[in-house]
Amino acid sequence: MRAALAASTAVIAAACSSSNKGGGGQAQPAAPVASVKLEPGNGAENVNPTAAVSATVSNGRIDQLALTNANGKQVTGAFDAARSKFTVNEPLGYGATYTWSGTAIGTDNKPVAIDGKFTTISPKSTAPATINIGDGQEVGIAAPIMLQFKGHVENKAAVEKALVVTATPVTEGSWAWLQDENGGSRVHWRPREYWQPGTTVHVGAKLYGLDMGGGLFGDSDLTSDFRIGRAQIVKAAAPTHRVQVVRDGQTVFDFACSYGEGNQDRNVTRSGIHVVTEKYEDFMMSNPPFYTNVRERWAVRISNNGEFIHANPESLSAQGNTNVTNGCINLSPSDAQAYFPTALYGDPVEVTGTRIQLSAADGDIYDWTIDWETWKGLSALQGEPKNQISATPLPPQPVGGR
């Protein structure tokens, strides 16, 4: 009997052992069903700081989540309605490492860790840019929009694609890349014809994170919202020794004046459409060897070569009959004072009747001296890029300040 019982026990033990091998014991826990996708992927490098950044959970929802920089500061973002996706809604920094941390809960109620990191690009250099017209400013009908970069832009087409001008009413215009100045590239936008008075304008420049070529990246975005004021044009026909101020089609001033003497190139008032850029009640002018630090009143700058419309009592006897100045348009003190408050940044000053044309040699705003088809050809998006005016400008020759 004992032998039989022992044999029976051995069979049962063997049967139990066989059952375990067949999977009849305790089941292994199922893997969590939630899955996490990070964009950019974990370990990504040289990520553009404006690239789309998100964390998406399939078969579940995000319970808690943070994206932080190396200093522990959280990046802002937003969840979708189902909390299945978190999207970053602010630009990131250059040359920074960002780390994900958080938890997702699957439809099986099991947690899944959200973790990972990526690094943004470290540019060789960044280029700040400035815009000439500020928010809320009212400008004249010849005002160009000017972006000046602190660095040379190689990838002009990419930059131009990031620029937008929205005008109400719709206004035909074009960007044009002019020769580098002030340490970097510059691009101007001007309408085909003078702006319509009352036009509202929005300028947007999405430059941050933009690869400008040669290792140069955009430093920050720019915007400006401004308005075109009344239509005021200064008509300046040098042979007449007079100047008219025409506002909204009506002549409001007709002044005796004196233009450049013209005995030397530097004393020729340039012909062409000038643009008012700044004005001073008092201004110290110098034009060696003729004079240095002479105080002038009611000075309105119309070109960066030293041309102003301003008061000059010393030329009073010549005003209205003889051109004797070093290139400026001289008025009597009372006439200059009357004109001064009406002058607005961007007003056109149309000079005619002299032997030298306004050009690139005369400073920053010579936009209206370029015919429309040539101007459009200076856009990087109009066929083959043309970054300079085809004609070689004369060497800079300062025009007087009186």
Which tens digits make up the pLDDT trace of 220-261?
Answer: 999 999 999 999 999 999 999 999 999 999 999 999 999 999
Q: Do 355 and 262 touch, CB atoms closer than 8 A?
A: yes
* Alpha carbon separation from 286 to 15, 296, 301, 327 (Å, rounded): 112, 10, 14, 12
pTM of the model: 0.84
Average pLDDT for the chain: 90
Q: Which two tokens stand for residue 253?
A: 């001033």
Q: Which residues are catalytic?
A: 310, 328
| The predicted structure's pLDDT at residue 132 | 97
388 has a pLDDT exceeding 60:
no
Using one digit for the tens of pLDDT, what is the confidence trace for 9-39? 333 333 333 444 444 556 667 788 999 999 9
Q: What is the pLDDT of residue 94?
A: 98
User: Residue ranges of the domains in the chain?
Assistant: 35-119, 125-228, 232-354
Query: How far apart are alpha carbons 149 and 125 in whole angstroms?
Result: 13
Give percent above pLDDT 70 in the chain.
88
- Same fold yes or no, 125-228 and 232-354: no
Looking at domain 125-228, its CATH class is: mainly beta
The 10 Å CB-count burial string (b at 16+, else e) for 253-263 is eebbbbbbbbe
The rounded distance, in Å, linking the Cα atoms of 319 and 332 is 8
pLDDT at 395: 39
**45 pLDDT above the threshold of 50:** yes
Q: Class of 35-119 per CATH? A: mainly beta
Output the pLDDT for position 24: 52
Q: What is the pLDDT of residue 169?
A: 98
pLDDT at 367: 98
Task: Compute CA 273 distance to the chain's CA centroid, rounded to the nearest angstrom.
Answer: 25
pLDDT tops 90 at residue 354: yes
Dihedral in degrees, nearest 10, Cα atoms 173, 174, 179, 182: 70
Nearest alpha carbon to residue 228 among 376, 370, 363, 348: 348
Contact of 120 with 94, CB cutoff 8 Å: yes
pLDDT at residue 386, as a whole number: 36
Mean pLDDT of 344-373: 96
Position of tokens 């932080």?
68
pLDDT of the residue at 373: 97
- Cβ contact 54:86 at 8 Å: yes
pLDDT digits (tens, 9 = 90+) for 250-308: 999 999 999 999 999 999 999 999 999 999 999 988 777 777 788 899 999 999 999 99
Residue 383: the pLDDT is: 56
Residues 288-298 have pLDDT tens digits of 777 778 889 99
End-to-end CA distance of the chain: 136
SS3 sequence of the chain: CHHHHHHHHHHHHHHHHHHHHCCCCCCCCCCCCCEEEEECCCCCCCECCCCCCEEEEECEEEEEEEEECCCCCECCEEECCCCCEEEECCCCCCCCEEEEEEEEEECCCCEEEEEEEEEECCCCEEECEEECCCCCCEECCCCCEEEEECCCCCCHHHHHHCEEEEEECCCCEEEEEEEEECCEEEEEEEECCCCCCCCEEEEEECCECCEEECCEEECCCEEEEEEECCCEEEEEEHHHCEEEEEECCEEEEEEECECECCCCHHHCCCEEEEECCEEEEEEEEEECCCEEEEEEEEEEECCCCCCEEEECHHHCCCCCCCCCECCCEEECHHHHHHHHHHCCCCCEEEEECCCCECCHHHCCCCHHHCCHHHHHHCCCCCCCCCCCCCCCCCCCCCCCCC
pLDDT more than 90, % of the chain? 83
C-alpha neighbours within 13 Å on the C-beta side of residue 279: 21
- Give the per-residue pLDDT at 257: 98
- Classify domain 232-354 at the CATH superfamily level: L,D-transpeptidase catalytic domain-like (2.40.440.10)
Query: Beta strand pairing status for 242-247 and 232-237?
Result: antiparallel
